[in-house]
Chains A and B, each alone.
Chain A
């Protein structure tokens, strides 16, 4: 069964067509990449998958659940554009607040997630004092902390240093292979896409086309 299924998606905004009959699939235990130039609609597609934006027509399913105006995806984690953390609170407290919404995890889970992304030790610093890279790691942490079955990450490696990039790549690979998680990544970095992804889609002319890994377009 597909983890994410998008079929015949049509979406336009202020008379501008963004997607026309767009379809894609992702499978459990795999990482799927999305590439395309700026402004082509990668973030919009992620917002549609997350249920934040309602498309004009088309079918979106996450873990078999149809995403429409009646429901957000269950068992799902997302990092889309800039995450809105509370700047005056620490990274740890931000995750604690977010985790209190679904109440699925405890303090130890938050601690182990922060260790995983390399933020443990700086978890008590206020987010306003975090660098861009640290905020990105916190964004990844909130997306994976509840151990969802489907994760979508919009430019997850942006602003990360080389060591952190390597670490996050390892974390994501492990999640997919060991925990059978389906991960969808949008990135401009072809190294990330080629090293991480089992399948790559390119957005072009309002649709996505599957491309070969060796294609470095």
Chain B
């Protein structure tokens, strides 16, 4: 396998690692959710690019079209996008309630409140 490989996979991996890093490194609960979304989106891209067939067009039945991309991964990822939206929405709802009861959304400050009581 030659070194650079397929460019799009490098982009996806870079995005994935960025998202992952944000989730691990940030203290702010909203930023963590942003990181999680970036991480999930990189996987969506991974699925979408996977269906591409070289020289193929959109998978619509028409005269003269022989080669078309695989539509199945796109359909799959629609489901995963819905799941991602639900996860983000639920995460944000939790952050709102955390903010209501702790008055902060910084992880270290929440920890300080817990330790202090």
Q: Please determine whether chains A and B interact with each other in the same assembly.
A: no
